[in-house]
Every structure is written in structure tokens, then in C-alpha cells.
Amino acid sequence: MPGFEIFGDEERKEVLDVLDTGVLMRYNFDGPRKGIWKAKEFEENLCTRLGVKHAHLCSSGTSALCVALAACGIGAGDEVIVPPFTFVATIEAILFAGAIPVFADIDDTLCLAPAAVEKTITSKTKAVVPVHMCGAMARIDELKSICDKNGIILIEDACQAVGGTFKGKSLGSFGKMGCFSFDYVKTITCGEGGAAITDDDDLYFRAHAFADHGHDHIGSDRGKEDHILVGTNYRISELNAAVGVAQLRKLDTILDVQRKNKKAIKNALSTISEVTFRNIPDPEGDSATFLAFFLPTEARAREISQALASAGVDGCFYWYDNNWHYIKKWDHIRTLSGGGKMPQADMENVKDYKTLSLPVSDSIISRTICLQIKLGWTKEEIDSRISKILNVFGK
């Protein structure tokens, strides 16, 4: 991780194909583009890779979430159950849909705890958005069962987990819709980009229309297309899609390297008695972008995190103090009610999160350290990294 570590001639070739046509927009201009449709090609290849019927590329993972929420009809006053450990975009997308994020605890998977979700469901719950954090899966089978039993929409935020699977089925393909990010630091990248996937024909039709001002994309004359709904502009460019076409071909290689590198470091950490590891419901489906482990106490986790940084172990994340991935530091969201923190007028339905208490999640995240797994490490660099880590623990 991430895909930009292995940019090469493959990406250049795909981008030059687009530049040679002069057509950077993904729609129309059929003649000048000379049969070059990079967004369509990426979407078709993504469907094949993930085993789904439809994929719609858009400008980011955030826009993919917005598209999925809109396609599924989630809006004003609807409650959407989410984890407190995610990139903040998950919450932003829900808020901009006019819906209400409702936080439920995580468990030792670092993802939504099914039991906590069940306790959080109310008559206003419209959807659950589990986030497959740091490349590995939530208990997605249990969460799907809960949603199915209660008639609730399941939308997967798999933005950090492209290539991950659960029992052979691609993450993102369990719910009504699944969302991915292909930004600059993701497993595969378009520079900026995202995708919403689904097996539902109607949801796909609504999704690709919403992402392009409501256009129905029927026919080849854009000026004569009908508008089936009110939408916005979340289009991806052909240049970004072209990079993704090349990157997707490299996904299996990326996963193989990440899994090998992660295994080497995990094996070394396994010799340390105070270290325990994140629960991964299906280890074979882990995309291996991070190695997450727990220490016995918050104090010890802070001590080790600081020591690893001082020892030159880069890519070491202590999420409990992170501004973007855990609710403790999201002051702009915790004080939304009446706080003027959204560009539009404050919404009547926004909850006041100032007093929100999630002690179970706090206990887990405060003891968690994540090590980023990179693609470009040599054997010597991995050995050096392991030596530094073990030295921090006095081994």
C-alpha cells in the first residue's frame, strides 16, 4: 500500500491513450474518442474482479458514498448506524444527505460490533454502514443478517479494502451497495476516484444518473438525454480512470506483496507476550494494508507508539489521537448542533454529540497501534524494520 508505489509504463500508456484522443470527459464525444472509453473499461473490469453486476466510477470515495446513499433513498431524518472508527468522509456523506449518523461501538475487528448495532436500531433506522477499516473485514455476514431481519438497508464502506474478501466473496458486494476509494494513498489509485457497486439494476440506474446531474445516459446525444432525478456532478475524468485501468491489473500482485510483508512483521510481533492482534473474521480475505495490534493498556500503547516513532518506524498510527479517523478528535462533528459547522444552515435533525460516550470503542482504540504495510520494501528493509520494532519491546 499504496498503488502509487508501483506507477510505471502501464499507467503512462493508458493515460496517453486518452491524451491522444483529446477527450477527457467520460461521456459522449463518441467520434473524436476513437473507441477509447477508460471509465467504461475500468467499470467492466471492476465488475469482473468483484463479481458484481454494476459498478459506477465517480470522483472519489466520498462521492461514491453520497451516490450510494442517494440511490438508496436515504435522506432527511433517516438514522444511519455507523462506527466511530472510520475516515470522517463516511459521516460527512451521511450528513450531506440530510440523514443522522448514529454511532454504535466497534469490537476487536476494529469494525462495527453486530450486538451493538442491534441495540442501536430504532424505528427511524434506515441503513447501516459498516466500514471495513484498514483493509480487513467487519463481521459482514452477521451485520447482513441483522439488516435483512429488520428490513434495513446495508451499504458497505469498503473504501479502504479493495481486494478484500469474506469467505471468497468480495467486500462491498454483501449490501445493497458498496463503496470504494481510489485516492492517492489507497491500495490501487486513480489519483482521485471512487466507485459504487451493486447487483440491483434500479439502484445502478439511479446512481449513475445522480452522479451526473440526473442524466439518464440513454442515446448518444447528451443534449437530448432526459433527467430522471435531481443530481450533482460526481463524474470521474477519463485521465483518472485510465490510471485505474492499469492499477486494477496490478491488484493481485499488490495483495500478494502486502500479505507477504505483513506476515513477516506479524510473525516477529507474535513473539512478544504483551501483544495481541486484531480479530480478522476471515484471515485469507485480509487485503493486508495494515497490521493492527493491541497492548494491555492505553498508557503502554502510547509509550510504544512514541518509541516506534523515535526508532524510525514510519507508518505507525495511534488512531486514538488521530484527527481524521476516530470520533474523539472530531470536534467539528461533535459540536454540530447549533454550531454552524456545515456550509448550509444547521439542520434541525442533527444530534448533539458533545456528550456521546462510547467506552467500549475507546477502550479498544486507545490500546491499538496500526503499522502500515508498504509494497516497495526490500528484504533488508523489512529485516531492519523488524529489528527496530523488537528493540522497542526490549527483545
Alpha carbon 200 to its chain's center: 21
Collapse the DSSP code of 70 into the 3-class scheme (helix H, G, I; strand E, B; otherwise coil) and give the result: helix
Nearest-10 crossing angle of helices 251-269, 379-392? 30
Amino acid identity of residue 259, one-letter, is R
Q: Which of 38, 126, 176, 186 is catalytic?
A: 186
Q: Decide: 369 and 322 in contact? Cβ < 8 Å.
A: no
The dihedral built from the CA positions of residue 326, 342, 103 and 233, taken in this order, carries a sign that is negative
Quote the CA–CA distance of 103 and 83 in Å, as a whole number.
Answer: 5
CA dihedral (280, 281, 285, 287) in degrees, to 10, reads: -30
Nearest-10 crossing angle of helices 9-21, 238-249? 150
Quote the CA–CA distance of 206 and 210 in Å, as a whole number.
Answer: 6
Quote the CA–CA distance of 48 and 268 in Å, as a whole number.
Answer: 37
C-alpha cell at 377: 520494501
Whether 149 is catalytic is no
Contacts of 177 (CB under 8 A, 6+ apart): 68, 71, 72, 155, 156, 196, 197, 198, 200, 203, 207
- Residues with active-site annotation: 186
